[in-house]
Amino acid sequence: MRATSPVRAALLVTLAVAAATISLSALDVHVEADPNFDFTPLKTWTLNPNGSGNAVRIISADDDSTELKQNFQTRILPIVQDGFIKRGFAKAASGQPDFFVTCYVLVTAGTSSQQMGQFLQPVPEWGLPYFAPSTSALSVFPKGSLILDIAPSATNEVVWRGVAQAELKWDDSAKKREEHVRDAVDQLLKKFPPKQSAKKK
């Protein structure tokens, strides 16, 4: 019987650990808000007229985001819009809404400040870095990020950013992926509007 090489053995261990880990992935939700902004007047909204957002897949140098961009328009954005409506925020049919919504989706094998910096618009002074620092280890499975930006229509400057991240499964069906997006939107919007600080009460 041929002995297993150290490299092959290490690879098998890595794949076994990864296979066990993927079923344990959980949704990580992070929200930042401008502490000096009053969110109480925000009732009506529309997608940002300067662009509803973007979707990018960055797993390898040869990745093509075409399919993801199509799904972004036909599946993800409708889920985001339904989420706001279910939370009691009316979509403005005409006239000036109170705030604009911009959505971003990023699928990557790992997160880095460089990728996020190229992908998202700048965070105002109140904001923290795009994502919490991550380890330098390469993730075997892709990670999906859903980002929601909210900006008052008067200024169109971001005052609230919510980020939901989770590991993705290669074999998830389209229906299952939509469920993940819906859950991410629900978890993010549970934190919008942010609770008032004591000094504003």
In this prediction, residue 56 carries a pLDDT of: 84
Q: How many domains are there within the chain?
A: 1
Strand-pairing partners, residue 53, are 103
| Nearest Cα to Cα of residue 89 among 47, 39, 45, 37 | 45
Q: Peptide bond before 193: cis, by omega within 30 degrees of 0? A: yes
Tokens found for residue 121: 């618009």
145 inside domain: yes
CA-to-CA distance for 164 and 186, rounded, in angstroms?
10
- 156 in any annotated domain: yes
Residue 6 domain-assigned?
no
pLDDT reported for residue 167: 82
Secondary structure percentages of the chain, helix, strand, coil, to 5: 30, 25, 45
Q: List per-residue pLDDT tens for the chain, 201 residues long.
A: 444 444 333 333 333 333 333 333 588 999 999 999 999 999 999 999 999 999 888 766 666 788 889 999 999 999 999 999 999 999 999 999 999 999 999 887 754 444 455 556 655 555 544 444 443 344 345 788 999 999 999 999 999 999 999 887 767 787 888 898 999 999 999 999 998 764 444
Q: What is the CATH number of the domain that holds 70?
A: 3.30.160
- The H or E element spanning position 21 is helix 6-22
Whether residue 9 lies inside any domain: the answer is no
Q: Is 13 contained in some domain?
A: no
Instruction: Decide if 190 is inside a domain.
Output: yes
Residue 15 lies in a domain: no
Q: Yes or no: say if 126 and 34 are a contact pair by the CB < 8 Å rule.
A: yes
Report the amino acid identity of residue 90: A
Residue 144, domain member (yes or no) = yes
Write down the pTM of the prediction. 0.72
Q: Residue 87 belongs to what domain range?
A: 25-195
What letter represents residue 96's amino acid? Answer: Q
Q: What is the pLDDT of residue 197?
A: 61
- The pLDDT value given to residue 120: 62
- pLDDT the model gives residue 25: 54
pLDDT at residue 119, as a whole number? 56
Instruction: Using DSSP, state whether 35 is helix, strand or coil.
Output: coil
